[in-house]
Structure 1
Amino acid sequence: MAAMDPVVDFGMWVMNSKLMGMDNIVRDLIFRAVRHTFYEHFCAGENTVELANCMKRLNESGLRGMLDFAVEFTSDNDACDRNFHGFLDTIETAKTLPPSSVSSVVVKITAICPLNLLERVSDLLSPLYHTLKKPDPLTPEEEQHLLLGQQRLLKLCQACVEANIPLVIDAEHTTVQPAVDYFTYSSAIKCNKDDNPIVYGTIQAYLKDAKERLLLATNAADKMGVPMGFKLVRGAYMSSERKLASSLGYQSPIHNNIQQTHACYNDCASFLLESITNGSHGVILATHNVESGRLAAKKAEDLGIAYWNKKLEFAQLYGMAEALSFGLRNAGFQVSKYMPFGPVETAIPYLLRRAEENRGLLSASGLDRELTRKELGRRLKAAIL
């Protein structure tokens, strides 16, 4: 269903319509429908108890989990504080689970620092295509709010250091990514020690400058003697990035076609795998593309990277690309599923974004559906006979 454009369009229309502002009965019916369909397929539970149970079932099948408190961006410090405590509780939950079941905890910077402030900081740090004029300096109040955001992240980093659990910082829109990178690398300098990367940044391969930024980051980390962690993804905000660039009369920062994105992803993955053999960096290769998974596995084998090497992890979203996840696991690699959790009403913005991002991916990747059809046929035949 999630691969069908009309279904996705209808679902997004309902979630953004006046129906969500009607009486409790209508809202409850909608939430119930969402919970027992898309939510249960793509999310790990409404709270840490349900998350822990889901993680245990996942680990029994030989996979690990990246714990993600599924909240989106916010615009005020009170909400940032609430989200911070949600991420902190996630780390505490991770500490109670078997170490073999948890690969990392995920944090979203726009959930712990106001979005508009991150946009202002990004304009000052590195003016990109969306910057039309020279930005004004931060006000004293903005500087104070920025400090609060940094303190929230450092507290989360310290909690992960004490628990020896990696903290993966998600990539976001290019309008805030310079600020996200600032948060990421400044915290990595403080927390990544002794050949043990705790803080992981994210590189989006659909950006034309992805390889260049990756090279700059790894070279700087090597010069400073800082072990760095990198999660490599294809990218998440394609439609919005292109619309913004077009509205401002600039070229899109996204590759012109999917083949260029695939080539960039595979090139970056190859470089990162080589960095494991040459240094102390950690790598998470997050992909739903079977060919990219095959190429990376072959590269790791050619480089002599042991299957049990803790510096290498493959990852896919929970509820997606199961054939790839289990194929890589059966080949002996560490494999994680990205496990979003939280109340249905809190997770809906996450589900909407994922639906919009992945509609093309889901329609183009029919391997899981093909295997599911075969298995259903096998079970039906076995039941009849």
Structure 2
Amino acid sequence: MLTLDKVYHAAYVLKPVIRKTDLIPARQINPESEIYLKTENLQVTGSFKVRGAYYKISQLSDEEKAHGVIACSAGNHAQGVALAAAHSGIPSLICIPDGAPISKVEATKSYGAQVELVKGVYDDAYNRAVELQKERNLTFIHPFNDPDVIAGQGTIGLELLKQLPDMDAVIVPVGGGGLISGVAFAIKSLNPKCKVYGVQAAGAASMKASLEQNGPHSLTGVSTFADGIAVKCPGDLTYELCSKYVDDVVTVSDDETATAILALIEQQKLITEGAGAVAVAAAMFNKVDVKGKKVACILSGGNIDVTILSKVINRGLMKAGRSTELIIEMIDKPGQLKEVSALIADLGANVVSVHHDRGGEDTDINGCYLRIAMETRNWAHVEQIEKAISDAGYHIVHRQNIG
């Protein structure tokens, strides 16, 4: 059973193990509000998950510990369980979806855990872990649907109330619901006026669907690069806690999440994974009411695979209107490219590539196309460039974002 005493006890147990992560102001995220970032991406193991995993394992009996522990995870819970098991001197076996970032898999192994990669997503890894738990009589450490795990995550709520006592709202990433259940329970128990909002990836909105259908609902599939919250079905316990303590759950697109990651890198010098940035995306794109309010966004993790980071940055640039390509129809004669390039340069954009293509069957005999890629400041800058080119007598036939 989850109680406030249990959350306080978790905070006491975790004190020598975890970092009390900083809460830093980030007013550029949404100038109409006071945004603060709870930097769990800088937590031990790079994620909040160590809180719940460590507290759960600390509460096991000697007999349960002797059996060894097993868990399923998209990567962050895996590292928390592996670290906690190593501290307790017990073996751990972790089932991880085969699509999880290599960095998370290798980090889990580095803490001493045995890893089994499972084809599919988190829910498939969960089913395999249940099989192995029965076969080998291991002790199962659930990533979210467990009172001790939820209590561990709830310690973030206690820290937030001390760091920002007058906050109006907190925005929390949601996958299976363990983090938001603990945070919402702690905050609502001590400050009922504070709003608690959950954020899910639009392609994995299982908790949102469950709340709308008044019961745990399983999606047929999930699709998002935010692997840490790609969960098909929330737990029955997390659903109950969310339905009681959470004010609303909203969704953000992968493009919006990528934009948030880029903003955090540029403005705050912070790296987050997809799941870690969805709360910021919700604040940036006004998915919840933040205007004029003090709002804490939880950066739940920073374990992004560096191999996809460049793709995410490019997508963020595209979404923000900072990487654009124009296709311009013109007459094939000397000076045309020079004039267009000068127009773009005079307005402060940077040309990164140019492709000249002579006309085809559907164009004038002396016609051609100029495909020109640019680095721009924002969408207003792109529109300013387009107007200057059009005013000069050129016809823009297509515009697309590039990355």
Whether these two folds match at TM > 0.5 is no
Whose helix fraction is larger, Structure 1's or Structure 2's?
1
Larger Rg: 2
Whose strand fraction is larger, Structure 1's or Structure 2's?
2
